[in-house]
Amino acid sequence: MSYPGYPPQSGGYPPQAGGYPPQPGAFPPQAGGYPPQTAGGYPPQAGGYPPQAGGYCPAAGGYPPAAGGYPPQAGGYPPAAGGFPPQSGGYQPQPGAGGFPSMPPAGGGWGTAPGGYGAPGGAPQGYPGGPAPGQPMPNYPKAPSPNPSMPGYGGGAPSHPQAPAISKGYRGSIKDFPGADPLRDVEVLRKAMKGFGTDENAIIELLGSRTNKQRVPMVAAYKTTYGKDLIHDLKSELTGNFEKLVLSMMMSPAHFAASELREAIKGAGTDEACLIEILSSRSNAEIQEINTIYKAEYGKKLEDAIISDTSGHFRRLLVSLCQGNRDERETVDISLVQQDAQKLYAAGENKVGTDESQFNAILCARSKPHLRAVFQEYQKMCGRDIEKSICREMSGNLESGMVAVVKCIRDTPAYFAERLHKAMKGAGTMDRTLIRIMVSRSEVDMLDIRQVYVKTYGKSLYTDISGDTSGDYKKLLLKLCGGTD
């Protein structure tokens, strides 16, 4: 191989026929090179390297018998003196630009954004303003596929991978009961409800020690065994918040979330906080399953229900979230982090008025690890927390919705701990919120929520539930909580 600029001093590869030839510019054939031309050296014995039988032979198609080592055709590393020259096809030194070469202006490549890698002149990256050519955002017109790659990611930029979060093991408070059998479990439920009165303690002990995947099959097992509907019997035997809690525990997570979204939308008024809570905390797969169930159960798409019940930029935020198309990669591209932080600053603090669409685009489309890095970069850039900037720039449901999305992405257990605290503090209790969070997070991150709760509010979640609820309702909630801290 001919490396230009290396002088022909002694020590090169030898001049055997068929090997790397002794043309000018290659490693020269002077004596004393590597290897020596004596028997026992390396090569030219049989099977050696190059031209003996079995070695790398001088036949056509090998590394090649053309003049100049690695041949000087256009696009290769040519045999000109002075380093890697600017022939077509190679990496060319850009006039006035040092460092990394500029890539073609395709989405996701090196630097077209301010402060990025390479020379300016490519298409701006990011969303909106927008995606690179040929990479429209999902669910926008002319999107190439239902779940395309997000603009600006990958494509050869020096990515700074962020290691996945260290797994702390199972963080739920309810664990699988060993050897649970739905046919035996429904006998306990039937006995608890049969005859005069109801054995609520038996129901609490049973349901409070089974995971969701062990509870849901009881519905079919009950009908198979007794020819009756378990949900109907539970409704006829239980009352109040205890009934609502038990019925919530008998649904799959996606069915429960769909029913809560339905309750938040239907009737007079809308529970905007419930909509944001569910849609900002679920994965793409969970949101898509919720969409499927919502349409099957209520005969209407969730997106259409949201559109008919909300308005303005808050509606856009919810519609974006309910698509279930957030980027879910774990790697973080630091150059794109800086771009997004600059875009958020330019759309809010550094602008008269606010470009809400830019906030919507970044908060709803980027991955959670990426957004956590963006929030940190934003803080360093303008000296203000992103939540405070949103509160300064927005108002009403949009403000509370955007802040909730930021909180949930930044620290999900802390977000739910705050929601639980607000549900119980002061006069009265927001029982629907309390039930929804305790049921939906009991097998996800309840142990983390408890830790954040006691650290933030000075009392354990167990203590606050005990002081704010009563009776069988309290007993079953404490089962879901799993213990004091």
pLDDT of residue 475: 98
d(CA 254, CA 358): 30
d(CA 40, CA 313): 80
Query: For residue 332, what are the β-bridge partners?
Result: 160
Examine residue 36 and state whether it is found in any structural domain, yes or no: no
pLDDT of residue 426: 81
Res 384 pLDDT > 50: yes
| Pair (305, 351) in one structural domain | no
| Pair (468, 437) in one structural domain | yes
d(CA 277, CA 422): 13
pLDDT of residue 55: 42
Query: Which of 298, 323, 348 is the last residue before a domain boundary?
Result: 323
Return mean pLDDT, the chain.
78
Quote the radius of gyration of the chain (alpha carbons, Å): 33
| Pair (340, 393) in one structural domain | yes
pLDDT tens, position by position, 111-165: 334 444 443 444 444 444 444 444 444 443 333 344 433 333 333 333 444 444 4
**In Å, how far are 36, 83, 268, 320 from 405, measured between CA atoms?**
70, 52, 25, 12
DSSP letter, residue 42: S
Examine residue 101 and state whether it is found in any structural domain, yes or no: no
What contacts 426, CB < 8 A, 6 or more positions away? none
Percent of the chain with pLDDT over 70: 65
| Pair (272, 310) in one structural domain | yes
d(CA 209, CA 482): 10
Instruction: Give the pLDDT band of residue 167 (cuts 50, 70, 90).
Output: low
Examine residue 155 and state whether it is found in any structural domain, yes or no: no
Res 76 pLDDT > 90: no
Examine residue 404 and state whether it is found in any structural domain, yes or no: yes
Burial bucket for residue 469 (CB in 10 Å: 0-12, 13-18, 19+): buried
The pTM of this model reads 0.67
| Pair (425, 470) in one structural domain | yes
Res 83 pLDDT > 60: no
| Pair (226, 267) in one structural domain | no
| Pair (338, 404) in one structural domain | yes
d(CA 448, CA 425): 20
| Pair (404, 424) in one structural domain | no
* Look-up of token digits 């213990």: 483
Res 477 pLDDT > 60: yes
Cβ–Cβ under 8 Å, residues 441 and 449: yes
- Beta carbons within 10 angstroms of residue 435's beta carbon: 24
| Pair (402, 354) in one structural domain | yes
| Pair (444, 472) in one structural domain | yes
DSSP letter, residue 108: T
Q: Is 332 helix (H, G, I), strand (E, B) or coil?
A: strand
Examine residue 25 and state whether it is found in any structural domain, yes or no: no
Examine residue 444 and state whether it is found in any structural domain, yes or no: yes
Query: Which of 192, 207, 238 is the last residue before a domain boundary?
Result: 238
Cβ–Cβ under 8 Å, residues 132 and 106: yes
Query: Which of 393, 409, 425 is the last residue before a domain boundary?
Result: 409
Examine residue 171 and state whether it is found in any structural domain, yes or no: no
What contacts 411, CB < 8 A, 6 or more positions away? 452
| Pair (394, 346) in one structural domain | yes
The count of structural domains within the chain is 4
Lookup: tokens for 200? 């609520």
Looking up residue 285, the CATH number of its domain turns out to be 1.10.220.10
Lookup: tokens for 133? 């050519």
Q: Is 160 helix (H, G, I), strand (E, B) or coil?
A: strand
Examine residue 355 and state whether it is found in any structural domain, yes or no: yes
Q: What residues make up the domain containing 353?
A: 334-409
pLDDT tens, position by position, 394-447: 999 999 999 999 999 999 999 999 999 999 998 889 999 999 999 999 999 999
DSSP letter, residue 59: S
